[in-house]
């Protein structure tokens, strides 16, 4: 899209029209600056719109605004009952497989360029019947949402490519997804089996499952071959290992001397035979359920994500 050649325009009523469907003699406005456009088409000319005179908007600004309008219209058509609900193509937070999710019925309308409580302006804000913001849709043309804005946005959001919106305004494929994560049915079933197995091992060995910080999985003691719980935590593999928090610390996580590394460090031990379960064995052996595992940050979201990841490993271990 050049600076003076535009493929989309708006009618005076605000409807987005593609040049291929435009009609000569009708009035059209620039989606970005709202100034009148000229419609041009002919046997030797590809249909397009252009600004009058020297005035011009950048192709980026026109595409950006058209994409926002198309998202808004997709929501409006759905709520009027003339089109199905827009679809979100999202990835399972555990296995990463793609799944389609309808925009929820709690969304009543889509508002453009709304200022949020933090002062930022979102491209499109999905609101409920009381106009309370539920989520935002940011449109990327050339520049992604910068990290400071992404960090301070007070509502969940997705970022979509402007070109993809032009192809299908009712299918949103996030480049960045900060909505509530989804988990596919297969991973939910695997997680339920994992939790049941972990609870049974915890009861059998007398090592309770920690509710936070200490990630857990099920493994086998290298010495006595009993099924035991194994733990990982944020900072465990740091070069300068810190003492892990005492609150909630499993009794099998102990400061022990390792002949392999010739030093003491906080490590897993077997509740049945007392043997050290060395970090090299747990994190470097491909057969271990903690192989190459690195715990995320100390947040509830990271804790939940890590358990989902571990559950998926146990399902194939």
278-290 residue pLDDT tens = 999 899 988 888 9
121/119 Cα distance (integer angstroms): 7
Look at 2 and 208; give whichever has higher pLDDT: 208
277/265 Cα distance (integer angstroms): 11
Are 232 and 193 in a shared domain?
Answer: yes
Q: Is 1 domain-assigned?
A: no
Are 310 and 279 in a shared domain?
Answer: yes
125/112 Cα distance (integer angstroms): 6
Lookup: tokens for 173: 């494929």
Report pLDDT digits (tens) over 187-202.
Answer: 999 999 999 999 999 9
Are 264 and 305 in a shared domain?
Answer: yes
Residues of the domain holding 143: 62-177
- Residue at a domain's end among 177, 193, 213: 177
Q: Which residue from 73, 9, 69 is spatially nearest to 41, judged by alpha carbons? A: 9
Q: In the chain, what percentage of residues exceed pLDDT 90?
A: 58
Are 222 and 258 in a shared domain?
Answer: yes
Report pLDDT digits (tens) over 229-258.
Answer: 999 999 887 767 789 999 999 999 999 999
271/223 Cα distance (integer angstroms): 12
User: For the chain, what's the residue count?
Assistant: 317
Q: Which residue from 252, 250, 214 is spatially nearest to 234, judged by alpha carbons? A: 214
How crowded is residue 21: how many other Cβ atoms within 10 Å of its Cβ?
7
Lookup: tokens for 191: 């997680």
Report pLDDT digits (tens) over 80-114.
Answer: 999 999 999 999 988 888 899 999 999 999 999 99
Residue 55 confidence (pLDDT): 67
Query: 5 pLDDT exceeds 60?
Result: yes
Are 49 and 29 in a shared domain?
Answer: yes
Q: Is 213 domain-assigned?
A: yes
115/95 Cα distance (integer angstroms): 35
The answer to whether 90 touches 101, Cβ cutoff 8 Å, is: yes
10/30 Cα distance (integer angstroms): 6
- Residue at a domain's end among 16, 40, 57: 57
The residues near 280 (Cβ < 8 Å, ≥ 6 apart) are 260, 261
Q: Is 269 domain-assigned?
A: yes
Q: Which CA distances in Å does 166 have to 63, 74, 133?
A: 8, 11, 24
The residues near 92 (Cβ < 8 Å, ≥ 6 apart) are 99, 182, 183, 184, 187
- Residue at a domain's end among 117, 149, 177: 177
Lookup: tokens for 11: 């009618």
Query: 3 pLDDT exceeds 50?
Result: no
Are 71 and 91 in a shared domain?
Answer: yes
Residue 111, SS3 per DSSP: strand
The answer to whether 283 touches 291, Cβ cutoff 8 Å, is: yes
Q: CB-side exposure of 122: number of CA atoms within 13 Å?
A: 27
Q: Is 66 domain-assigned?
A: yes
* CATH classification of the domain holding 148: 3.90.1570
pLDDT category of residue 1 using cuts at 50, 70 and 90? very low
Helix 185-205 / helix 300-316 crossing angle, nearest 10 deg: 90
pLDDT category of residue 2 using cuts at 50, 70 and 90? very low
Lookup: tokens for 238: 């740091």
Query: 6 pLDDT exceeds 80?
Result: no
Are 234 and 126 in a shared domain?
Answer: no
Q: CB-side exposure of 231: number of CA atoms within 13 Å?
A: 28
195/314 Cα distance (integer angstroms): 10
Q: Is 288 domain-assigned?
A: yes
Are 163 and 198 in a shared domain?
Answer: no
Are 101 and 224 in a shared domain?
Answer: no
Are 40 and 74 in a shared domain?
Answer: no
Q: Which residue from 176, 215, 196, 207 is spatially nearest to 300, judged by alpha carbons? A: 215
Tell me which range, 78-87, 173-182, 297-306, is most confidently predicted by mean pLDDT: 78-87
According to DSSP, residue 260 is labeled T
Residue 42 confidence (pLDDT): 78
Give how many domains the chain has, as a whole number.
Answer: 3
Q: Is 105 domain-assigned?
A: yes
18/41 Cα distance (integer angstroms): 12
Average pLDDT over residues 4-13: 77
Average pLDDT, the chain: 89
Lookup: tokens for 227: 């099924």
Quick check: pTM over 0.75? no
Q: Is 127 domain-assigned?
A: yes
Q: Is 2 domain-assigned?
A: no
Are 38 and 66 in a shared domain?
Answer: no
Are 189 and 212 in a shared domain?
Answer: yes
């Amino acid at each position: 899209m050049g600076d003076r050649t535009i493929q989309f325009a708006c009618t005076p009523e605000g409807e987005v029209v593609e040049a291929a469907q435009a009609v000569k003699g009708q009035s059209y406005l620039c989606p970005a600056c709202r100034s009148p456009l000229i419609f041009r088409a002919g046997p030797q000319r590809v249909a397009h719109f252009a600004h009058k005179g020297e005035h011009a908007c950048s192709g980026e600004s026109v595409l950006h605004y058209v994409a926002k309008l198309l998202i808004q219209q997709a929501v409006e058509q759905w709520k009027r009952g003339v089109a199905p609900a827009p679809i979100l193509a999202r990835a399972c937070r555990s296995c990463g497989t793609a799944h389609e999710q309808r925009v929820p019925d709690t969304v009543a309308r889509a508002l453009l360029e709304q200022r949020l409580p933090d002062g930022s302006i979102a491209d499109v804000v999905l609101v409920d019947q009381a106009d309370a913001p539920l989520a935002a849709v940011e449109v990327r043309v050339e520049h992604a949402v910068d990290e400071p804005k992404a960090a301070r946005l007070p509502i969940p959001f997705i970022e979509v490519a402007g070109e993809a919106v032009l192809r299908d305004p009712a299918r949103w494929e996030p480049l960045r997804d900060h909505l509530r994560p989804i988990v596919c049915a297969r991973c939910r079933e695997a997680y339920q089996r994992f939790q049941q197995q972990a609870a049974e091992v915890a009861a059998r060995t007398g090592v309770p499952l920690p509710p936070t910080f200490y990630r857990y999985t099920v493994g086998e003691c290298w010495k006595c071959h009993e099924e035991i719980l194994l733990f990982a935590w944020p900072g465990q593999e740091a070069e300068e290992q810190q003492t892990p928090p005492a609150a909630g610390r499993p009794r099998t996580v102990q400061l022990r001397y390792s002949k392999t590394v010739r030093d003491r460090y906080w490590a897993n031990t077997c509740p049945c035979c007392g043997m050290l379960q060395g970090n090299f064995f747990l994190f470097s052996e491909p057969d271990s359920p903690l192989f190459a595992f690195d715990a995320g940050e100390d947040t509830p979201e990271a804790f939940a994500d890590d358990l989902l990841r571990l559950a998926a490993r146990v399902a194939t271990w």
